[in-house]
Amino acid sequence: MKYFTIKPISTEDFLILEQLDREIFPLKSQQTLFSKNTYNENAICYVAHALLNTEANCSRSPVGYINVSFTGLESEILSFGVTKNYRGQGIGKSLIGLTLKNLAAVNCKSVFLEVRKSNQTARTLYSSFGFKKTGVRSNYYSDNQEDAILMSLPHLQNIEYLSFLQSTLQKLPYYSK
């Protein structure tokens, strides 16, 4: 079993996250500017770190992140990914869940995002948190003209949704309060 933490981004993460971003999204035309987002009060960026234990020492290394912007009532998931070797262990769910909880806490009411039509893993993950397909942007991605699926979560402040979110978070392996 590998161990992880999820924390707000810090300056030590910038360089390695930029490498990680290129690895996760080799086709992305504009890489995420982590330093810019960190100092933006309308942005949330969480980083998942794997804890690496060797005989000599214990270190931590970023293995995933989520980057979100918000303006009052609305927010958008701008970029989100987990490096290949660490997928399928609940890190993605923990990053999304914790972010939604924090967006709810700053009074955000709805969240939206765009995802490649072929990205079934991400679409399943978003659906499991209640996101619904709300539209399609045809030929949206310039590298292969793939459609973007628009998904949104319009009821973040709904009391039943908040209780669903809380119970989902409690089952997640790497959720830090």
Ligand X SMILES: CC(C)(COP(=O)(O)OP(=O)(O)OC[C@H]1O[C@@H](n2cnc3c(N)ncnc32)[C@H](O)[C@@H]1OP(=O)(O)O)[C@@H](O)C(=O)NCCC(=O)NCCS
Residues that bind ligand X (CB under 6 A): 24, 80-82, 87-93, 115, 119-122, 124-125, 128
* Encoded amino acid at 22, one letter: R
Nearer to ligand X, 44 or 82 (CB): 82
Minimum distance between the CB of residue 151 and ligand X, rounded to whole angstroms?
Answer: 9
* Distances in whole angstroms, Cα of residue 102 to Cα of each of 40, 60, 111, 135: 16, 24, 12, 26
Q: Reduced to 3 states, what is the DSSP secondary structure of residue 98?
A: helix
| Active-site residue, from 18, 76, 114, 146 | 114
Q: How many CB atoms lie within 10 A of CB 89?
A: 18
Nearer to ligand X, 36 or 84 (CB): 84
d(CA 77, CA 114): 8
Eight-state DSSP code of residue 11: G
Query: Which single residue is written with the structure tokens 């989100």?
Result: 80
Minimum distance between the CB of residue 73 and ligand X, rounded to whole angstroms?
Answer: 22
Minimum distance between the CB of residue 77 and ligand X, rounded to whole angstroms?
Answer: 7
Nearer to ligand X, 19 or 107 (CB): 19
Closest CA to 112 of 147, 156, 144, 146: 156
Query: Which single residue is written with the structure tokens 């030590």?
Result: 12
Would residue 141 show up in a list of annotated catalytic residues for this protein? no
Would residue 114 show up in a list of annotated catalytic residues for this protein? yes
Length of the chain: 177
Nearer to ligand X, 54 or 124 (CB): 124
Minimum distance between the CB of residue 74 and ligand X, rounded to whole angstroms?
Answer: 18
| Active-site residue, from 46, 65, 126, 175 | 126
Report the catalytic residues: 114, 126
